[in-house]
Amino acid sequence: MTRHPMRLLRAEWTKFRSVPGWVRGSVVAALLILLFPIAGLGGGAPDQASPVPIGPHGGPVSSGYFFVHRPLSGDGRITVAVSALTSVRGDGAATPWAKAGLIVTAGPEPGARYAAIMVTGGHGVRMQHDYVHDRGGRPGAVSADAPRWLRLTRSGDTVTGEESPDGERWNEVATVRLPGLAATVQAGLFVACPQHVEGIGTAGDAATAAFGAPRLTGGWSAAGWAGDQVGAGTATFAGYPRGTTGSFAPAGDGFTVTGAGDLAPATRSELPVGAAAGDVLFGTFPALVVIVVVATLMITTEYRYGMIRSTLSAGNRRVRILAAKAAVVAGVTFTTCLVAAALAVPLWLRVVRGLGVYVFPVTSGAALRAEVGTAALLAVAAVFALAVGTILRRSATAVTTVVAAVVLPYLLALTPFLPPSMAVWLTRFTPAAAMAVQQTLVRYPQVDGLYTPAAGYYPLPPWAGLAVLGGYTALAFAVAAVLLCRRDA
């Protein structure tokens, strides 16, 4: 006799709540999400001695560069040729995002608004402003035989960047607006060079550029050029390599300028003591283990004690029975873990901020997605464990298999000594890809950095990562359904 689906659900729900261990397991998993961050605070708050510069968009920025400048009152234009750009760690050339060019800045403080036209070591000419905005121009590197001319024009609070191969034929790269730009600003030449990524770490770097004679029109001061390192002493400035320092010196009619730092959004590698919203959800890992055990036992216990015969004899639609079990364990897991995640994120972010730790900004939408995604991740993992338990029919073997498939790749990806390429592979193609649903950090294409899972960056978008786990779960469930129908109880 075929039982109505709602009766099957009711029967499986009654069975679930009648086993105290399964109920306690679900509660423990939720409590681990909510309370496990305490373990990470056992050593107290990490020391953040240097100030974190904040950009106009409200996020942390790297705002360090060597600035050769003079005052500009009102409108004006500066034109210069760049004939060389090299860096300490560039093997005679320049690291890809080493920068040299022209800049107008709203103020001397790190994080101030700016607009800049520049040549780079490996990405051609760029027009960038306010750290997060980037527009590409003509590709190619500069050299003495192929200099690149740059021109920056200020008109009110509008700044236009142009580039030329010969100083005669000009191509506009971008026009940007800097709201609130003062009547008198500092403008001129700049050189920056971000940290060099080396394997699983970074190293300080510096770049040197050769500029021709600057051509000035408009309200420029008659005072001479002055040179300063901007951003020294901030948390995102790595300093200069040993034996190198920021400087500028006359070279013919122009200048040779050496600088370090960057003008870009800050990454986790530049703020290693900074916290992200996803960090306070690291109780997901132990909660996942508990959920796997509970979901596996829901089916393997019936096989162990022979109760599966009475379960399957209650109806001739075995797949419906398996689906009912999946709905119950997924529903319980999603509900309890969603409540825990929704409480954990705002609570622990407030605690972390109270301890003086910098927290990367997160939108309400991204926080909500991380909370709902965490609950969905655990619910899907529960169904995956139930399916594997149905296939293998033995608790220890099934739990070990699921932990090895979901938990182990995640732990390996978090190992700081694992090559970044391997960590990316593990979180792209294994069920551990689902952890991407918790990421709240933004990866910017104009910034090189350690974009690894250990730093909170995943190779797949959040829901795409969860879909990978969903694919494994669908496959396991289909195999489990076929075997359940073909096997004798």
The per-residue pLDDT for 12 is 84
CATH number of 61-265: 2.60.120.200
Encoded amino acid at 176, one letter:
V
The encoded tokens of residue 66 equal 């060597």
Phi and psi at 412, nearest 5°, equal: -65, -40
**pLDDT > 90: percent of the chain:** 68
pTM of the complete model = 0.88
- b/e sequence 420-429, b meaning 16+ C-beta within 10 Å: beebbebbbe
Q: How does the average pLDDT of the chain come out, rounded?
A: 90
Range scoring the smallest mean pLDDT among 118-122, 286-290, 384-388, 451-455? 451-455
In whole angstroms, what is the distance from residue 72 CA to residue 92 CA?
35
The confidence band for 390, taking pLDDT boundaries of 50, 70 and 90, is very high
Tokens standing for 197?
């990524």
pLDDT of 488 reads 64
**Residue 115: closest CA among 80, 81, 155:** 155
- Any idea what DSSP says for residue 363? -
What is the per-residue pLDDT across 252-283, written as a single tens digit (0 to 9) for each? 889 999 999 999 999 888 887 788 999 999 89
48 pLDDT more than 60: no
Q: How far is CA 7 from the centre of its chain?
A: 45
Q: Which of 410, 404, 390, 392 is nearest to 454 (CA)?
A: 410
Identify whether the C-beta of residue 89 lies closer than 8 Å to the C-beta of residue 109. Answer: no
Q: What's the pLDDT at 308?
A: 61
User: Which whole-number Å values give the CA distances from 467 to 228, 394, 398, in the listed order?
Assistant: 50, 27, 22
Q: Which two tokens stand for residue 42?
A: 């056992």
92 to each of 87, 241, 273, 276, 437, how far by Cα in Å?
Answer: 7, 16, 33, 37, 41
- d(CA 408, CA 416) in angstroms, rounded, equals 15
440/280 Cα distance (integer angstroms): 11
Q: Which of 105-119, 303-317, 409-423 has the lowest mean pLDDT?
A: 303-317
Name the β-bridge partners of 173: none
Q: Summarize pLDDT for 222-249 with one digit per residue, the tens.
A: 989 999 999 998 999 988 998 899 999 9
What pLDDT sits at residue 306?
Answer: 60
pLDDT at site 178 = 96
pLDDT reading at 477 higher than 60: yes
413 vs 209: which has the higher pLDDT: 209
Q: Are 194 and 65 in contact (CB under 8 A)?
A: no
The pLDDT of residue 303 is 73
Q: List Cβ neighbours of 205 (8 Å cut-off, separation of 6 or more).
A: 87, 88, 89, 90, 95, 98, 193, 194, 195, 196, 241, 260
Q: How high is the pLDDT of residue 317?
A: 78
> In which band, very low, low, confident or very high, does the pLDDT at 36 lie, cut at 50, 70 and 90?
confident
| pLDDT-derived band at 4, boundaries 50, 70, 90 | low
pLDDT score of 1:
45
156 vs 158: CA distance, rounded Å: 5
**168 phi and psi angles, rounded to 5 deg:** -115, -45
What residue ranges do the domains of the chain occupy?
5-44+273-486, 61-265
Among 1-15, 195-209, 390-404, 405-419, the least confident range:
1-15
Q: What is the pLDDT of residue 176?
A: 97
Backbone φ, ψ for residue 180 (5° rounding): 80, 15
